[in-house]
Chains A and B, each alone.
Chain A
Amino acid sequence: MRVEALVKRRKYSLIFFSILLVFTLASIIVTDFDVTKGFTCIPKAIVWSTKNFYPNADSLEKIPKILTKLKETVFLSVASTTVAAAFATFFALFGSHTTRINGFLSILIRGIASLFRNIPVVAWAMILLFSFGQSSLTGYFALFFVTLGFLTRAFMETIDETSKESVEALKAAGASYFQIIFQAVIPSSLPQMISWMLFMIETNIRSATLVGILTGTGIGFIFNLYYKSFQYNAASLVVVFIVITVFAIEFISNYVRRVIL
């Protein structure tokens, strides 16, 4: 019996990998992708980068301009994440199994959250471009919607995971809804909620860079500008700053996490 199950499982994985192989080959043929050329290009790309893609003395003059744009991007992601977190807290309270007040409302919120979360941030930016044009508002709302969807889901799970039992106890003691929220739900889930928010700020700084290329704002825009005007040295400096920022933010949020958890 067990041997049979094992053989069956092996057969399934064989079928799975054959299908995967067929798909890979088909996509190579359809897209005219030359595999050997693709890989042999890599050394050439590295050579090109070392020749052109590094910050030089001239590009250092651009630092103030880059920093202004970088600040814009960082603030944009922090602002969209924190505001989204505030909304997500309310949504999560009414959506979670433990603290919901109405079953229908809970399902509605779960549905909206899942929709918001599953539309990629770049798609949001494209949709919003119609309404807000190429402005930072477009980027702000694109990040806001995705973050709202993600944090609502994360907060709901945090609430259900950390406070289900204490909510039951306080309810049995005769506590009212808002007393339970403030005395049991928030104390037990706040640290994890902050941790999720920090994670989202990190993610959003990365996404904001990409969205910036689309919306013509922030650090993404200035990278695109330098790159398209063949100022590769300045563009590389922008990349350096992005990497430093991402590391710095991660360091800060790890530190905060250690302190609160």
Chain B
Amino acid sequence: MNLLEIKNLTKQYGAETLALSDVNFSVKEGEFISVIGPSGAGKSTLLRCINRMIDATSGEVIFDGVNVYDLDKKELRKLRTKIGMIFQHYNLVNRLTVIENVLHGRLGYKSTLAGILGRYSEEEKRQAFEIIEILGLSHQVYKRCDQLSGGQKQRVGIARALIQNPKMLLCDEPIASLDPNVSKVIMDHLKNISTKLGITCLVNLHQVDVAMNYSDRIIGINNGKVVYNGPPNLTPEQIYMIYGSEAGELIMDLGGKNAS
């Protein structure tokens, strides 16, 4: 069953710039999909048009049987609780503790007043500790986020998304600011979330080898258009086609893929 369907999605900035033009694809429940393409191809815009952090110019986004662009403000808030989002720069409130940041994921479910006062139920707190435990942050629970390393911050970001009980995660270059070791930890967590919890993942990536290793399917975007949509075992020709460059112009290491 398709969890997400994107039909003729177009986003135009100003009179000239076409960030997305006529994007069509669908995502099945539980799938792990990587979106790759050169910088400025429209990957981030695509992700943000799905939960309407950016409003598309035209087209439809059907999530879980509902057209996202038909919703009013209140319904949109409800919908966003079902879609977790993970960011390149983690986007945490750095002066607050890990647990406070994780619980922020529950705000969409709470009344305005309870949210303002930061009053969470015992059940919510228990769940927060459970998720923090799974992500291996038990020793950092009461630490302020500005004292954490990049990898730890990203795991807080994942915990904040998971506590929403989402059906889908949108990950906007989750490992772009991390070193290869930490990147592997984060990608393994995301893969686990997808396989064990059955949460659909849509991940923007810059690393082609990572995309090929982890995804069920790869979507290639160039210049606002979907230029590839298929299995993750890309040939070099296909990669060059996605990135719009001549053979030999890309820095790439596909050795890991062949060896494993």
Contact = CB atoms under 8 A, between A and B. Distances in A.
Interface of A: 163, 165-166, 168-176, 178-179, 181-184, 187-188, 191
B78 A170 contact: no
B104 A175 contact: yes
Interface string B76-109: 0111110111010111111110000000110111
A53 B51 CA distance: 71
Nearest to A168: B91
A81 B93 CA distance: 28
A165 to B, nearest CB: 4
B116 interface: yes
A108 B92 CA distance: 31
B91 A183 contact: no
Nearest to A167: B91
A173 B89 contact: no
Contacts, number: 86
A173 B112 contact: no
Contact of A176 (B90, B91, B115): B115
Contact of B116 (A171, A174, A179, A191): A179
6 contacts: A169-B87, A171-B53, A174-B107, A174-B109, A176-B77, A181-B116
Interface string B103-125: 01101111010011110000000
Most buried by A among B84, B87, B107: B107
Q: Describe A's contact surface by its main secondary structure.
A: helix
In this complex, the interface size class of chain B, counting residues with CB under 8 Å from chain A, is 35 or more
A169 B107 CA distance: 11
Contact of B107 (A165, A168, A175, A188): A175
Contacts of B108: 173-175
Interface of B: 51, 53, 77-81, 83-85, 87, 89-96, 104-105, 107-110, 112, 115-118, 157, 160-161, 164, 170
A172 B85 contact: yes
B95 A170 contact: no
Contacts of B160: 169, 173
A135 B157 CA distance: 56
Contacts of B91: 165-166, 168-169
A182 B107 CA distance: 11
A183 B116 contact: yes
Given A166-B94, A184-B93, 19 more contacts: A165-B89, A165-B91, A166-B93, A169-B87, A170-B104, A173-B85, A173-B107, A173-B164, A175-B77, A175-B104, A175-B115, A178-B115, A182-B115, A182-B117, A183-B93, A183-B118, A184-B104, A187-B95, A188-B94
Contacts of B110: 179
Nearest to A190: B95
Contact of A179 (B84, B87, B112): B112
